[in-house]
Chain A
Amino acid sequence: MNAVVIRAGFLTSVQDLGRTGFRQFGVSTSGAVDSFALRVANLLVGNNESAAGLEITLGGLQLRFEDERIVAWCGGEFDVQIASRALPAGHVAELQSGDELKFGNAQFGCRCWLAISGGIDVAKRHPVLRFVRGVDWSRFDDVTIQRFTNQEFAVSPDSDRMGLRLDGPELKRKHEADLISEAVAPGTMQVPPSGKPILLLGDCQTIGGYPKIAHVITVDLGVAAQLRAGDRVHFSEVSLEDAHCLLLERERDLDRFRIGVSLQRS
């Protein structure tokens, strides 16, 4: 399931039916507070009853779906809308890619459970590196762009301070023409004809000739620097303006930190 969280709402969490067998160690079952409501919602969308869903507290959640899904929700009374269409409790809706699902404030009660066909996968939490488009982005076909932004890459042991070689889905250009060499920078993601991208790090070369599909933004280079061979990673696009805002925010944090340190010393 791929969905963008536009607004997280007051308190939204991923819940399933909890875990048993650990009570002797002081761990309760937990899971959805009203497990019955989650089971009903799951059955409505064709899931296994125990699949993970979202527990929404007091509303405010807004999601944009990036693939086709069936959804249903159960629990308190909420004003739920898909575009301007209302979705009452216990009803099923088919969402298309791009559809937005919006939970208003609770009319009665305070919690409800949203089930999504296919469930919610929270088992793996791999780092996401944010990127801006590279100069040669448009030289890659749609399938490649989909693979790059949706699939997982693994850090190859052939990696060092110059760059991380990544194993994963093959990235292919529309035409394999050789390019004229020009500047690259830390963060640049080059794609040699092998189709396996290389993410350049601090000790990278100054000039390169392989096409540049993307650039990992400066604030995320610290995350890239911690990746070990075998680690898995995802890529997610941001705008150049957002990349600059994030960098500026980080710099402001450092300014505050600098002041704090100087006060400590004085």
Chain B
Amino acid sequence: MEIIPLGDSALVVRVREQFEDAPEERLNEVLRVFQLLQRAAIPGVVELAPAYTSVAVFFDPVAVLKSNGAANGVFDELATRIRSTIVPASRRHRRRTAANAPRLIEIPICYDAEFGFDLDRVAEHTKLSGPEIINLHSTGEYRVACIGFVPGFTFLAGLPRNLATPRRDVPRKEIPPGSVGIGGAQTGIYPLRSPGGWNLIGRTPLKLFDPTKNPPTLLHPGDRVRFRAITREEFESLTS
């Protein structure tokens, strides 16, 4: 475990350096660290943001200084508190995590060329044909690694390795809501109109973020996700 500054008002707890080698285990460990930190409610900590291999801790440096004192500096003080909070997982915890089967949610995706702006780019990079990409992507088993970037953006783990495609050199300024993309070894869904650098291969008609609901997101970290390829007609009927 590594604790690295993210500017002067946040830090990143890197639970593991790599993700691809054992994603299930990594994800469970990240979620466990997230829960431990949430429960610890360390004074001065404002909020937490889990990601694939890390949990970011946003803090108010002035509040940390006032509540803990900081003879060794704000960062070291907080890092020490965090280290003592993150105790190694007990055997019981591991058993319990394994027993708590996460829910499975199906997401319909239309891989129509009109939605998959970057299918050609992915094809060129992966040396796979369009139908092969769609088949591989829609039959994979995924888990929600984290929600972030913009409200409700769903980062998924489990992208078949041969689909990995580097992010675009220049991010797009605007991406249509529901767009499904590949960014490096990750895949994810853009819930809202937003900028973004991932390669777009399809679109879902589902609303992944609804600010009038609590919680506002359809998916949560840890959820299992399966995709179902749908036609353009089905897409339209599910949208209306």
Residues of A near any B CB (own CB < 8 A): 132, 135, 158, 162, 176, 178-185, 187-188, 192-194, 196, 205-210, 212, 215-218, 240-241, 243-244, 247-248, 251
Which A residues are CB-close (under 8 A) to B52? 180-182
User: Is B134 part of the contact surface with A, judged by Cβ < 8 Å?
Assistant: no
Q: Nearest Cβ in chain A — how far from B157, in angstroms?
A: 10
23 pairs from A and B in contact (CB 8 Å cutoff): A132-B7, A135-B4, A135-B12, A178-B167, A180-B186, A182-B12, A182-B56, A183-B10, A183-B49, A185-B9, A185-B56, A187-B8, A192-B171, A194-B170, A205-B148, A205-B149, A210-B167, A215-B5, A215-B6, A218-B7, A244-B73, A247-B61, A251-B62
Q: Are A248's CB and B7's CB within 8 A?
A: no
Which B residues are CB-close (under 8 A) to A216? 7
Extra contacts, 6 of them, besides A178-B164, A182-B56 (Cβ < 8 A), are: A178-B183, A180-B51, A187-B8, A193-B166, A216-B7, A218-B7
Among A178, A194, A217, A241, contact of B166 (Cβ-Cβ < 8 Å): A178
Q: Are A248's CB and B148's CB within 8 A?
A: no
Top 8 A-B pairs, shortest CB-CB distance: A183-B56, A178-B184, A215-B7, A207-B148, A243-B8, A206-B148, A182-B51, A205-B149
Which B residues are CB-close (under 8 A) to A178? 164, 166-167, 183-185
Which A residues are CB-close (under 8 A) to B184? 178-180, 209
User: Is B53 part of the contact surface with A, judged by Cβ < 8 Å?
Assistant: yes
User: Is B146 part of the contact surface with A, judged by Cβ < 8 Å?
Assistant: yes
What is the bound-complex CA distance between A215 and B5, given in angstroms? 9
User: Is B104 part of the contact surface with A, judged by Cβ < 8 Å?
Assistant: no
Dominant secondary structure of chain A at its interface with chain B: loop
Which A residues are CB-close (under 8 A) to B53? 180, 182
User: What residue in chain A is nearest B20 (Cβ atoms)?
Assistant: A180
What is the bound-complex CA distance between A240 and B51, given in angstroms? 24
Q: Digit string of B156-187 for contact with A (CB within 8 Å is 1, else 0)? A: 00000000101111110100000000011110
Which B residues are CB-close (under 8 A) to A248? 61-62, 65
Which B residues are CB-close (under 8 A) to A193? 166-167, 169
For B8, B74, B171, the residue with the greatest tally of chain A CB atoms inside 10 Å of its CB is B8
User: Is B150 part of the contact surface with A, judged by Cβ < 8 Å?
Assistant: yes
Q: Nearest Cβ in chain A — how far from B114, in angstroms?
A: 25
User: Is B209 part of the contact surface with A, judged by Cβ < 8 Å?
Assistant: no
Q: Nearest Cβ in chain A — how far from B38, in angstroms?
A: 15
Known interface pairs A182-B56, A244-B8, A244-B73; A207-B166 also in contact (CB < 8 Å): no
Q: Are A162's CB and B195's CB within 8 A?
A: yes
Q: Are B8's CB and A183's CB within 8 A?
A: no
Q: Are A188's CB and B51's CB within 8 A?
A: no
User: Is B43 part of the contact surface with A, judged by Cβ < 8 Å?
Assistant: no
What is the bound-complex CA distance between A218 and B7, given in angstroms? 8
Q: Nearest Cβ in chain A — how far from B174, in angstroms?
A: 11
For A181, A205, A207, A248, the residue with the greatest tally of chain B CB atoms inside 10 Å of its CB is A181
User: Is B153 part of the contact surface with A, judged by Cβ < 8 Å?
Assistant: yes
Among A179, A181, A184, A241, contact of B6 (Cβ-Cβ < 8 Å): A184
Q: Nearest Cβ in chain B — how far from A39, in angstroms?
A: 46
What is the bound-complex CA distance between A217 and B167, given in angstroms? 27
Among A181, A210, A243, contact of B186 (Cβ-Cβ < 8 Å): A181
From residue 51 to 70 of chain B, which have CB atoms closer than 8 A to chain A? 51-54, 56, 58, 61-62, 65
Which B residues are CB-close (under 8 A) to A212? 6
Which A residues are CB-close (under 8 A) to B56? 182-183, 185
Q: Nearest Cβ in chain B — how far from A62, in angstroms?
A: 27
User: Is B227 part of the contact surface with A, judged by Cβ < 8 Å?
Assistant: no
What is the bound-complex CA distance between A212 and B183, given in angstroms? 16
Q: Digit string of B194-207 for contact with A (CB within 8 Å is 1, else 0)? A: 11010000000000
